Amino acid sequence: MTNEPSNIERIVMQRVHLIRALRFAISGGVFSTLVSLLALWGLGREVWVAHVLQNTPADLLDIPRFYFAAFIHTRLIVQALVVLIAASFVFLAREIFRAISVMSDAQSAESL
């Protein structure tokens, strides 16, 4: 018997590697990152962010009220982009915490 893989083994392993690569590329974390980047780009095109940051009040207690008023008084597309950014960041944080918990579970299982 030789150590050379057969054609069937080679084809199966190529497909396994392709599936693993696609599983990462199509994962929720990657999708969420792309959505948040596109939404941030769209927000930057719709709002002059530097002026919003310049107008931010110096008092820390007034900042939430300022941003809420700024959010309420913008166009619908800006509000939708802000909600999309927030949702994608929440989803991305969830995916990161899930990945960390899986890795920590795997490490604790190895130590047993």
pTM of the entire predicted model: 0.68
Residues above pLDDT 70, as percent of the chain: 90
Rounded-to-integer distance, Cα 83 and Cα 11, Å:
45
Mean pLDDT of 36-44: 93
Q: Rounded distance, CA 83 to CA 89, Å?
A: 10
Q: How far apart are CA 16 and CA 3, in angstroms?
A: 20
**Per-residue pLDDT tens over the stretch 64-100:** 999 999 999 999 999 999 999 999 999 988 888 887 8
The rounded percent of the chain whose pLDDT value lies above 90 is 45
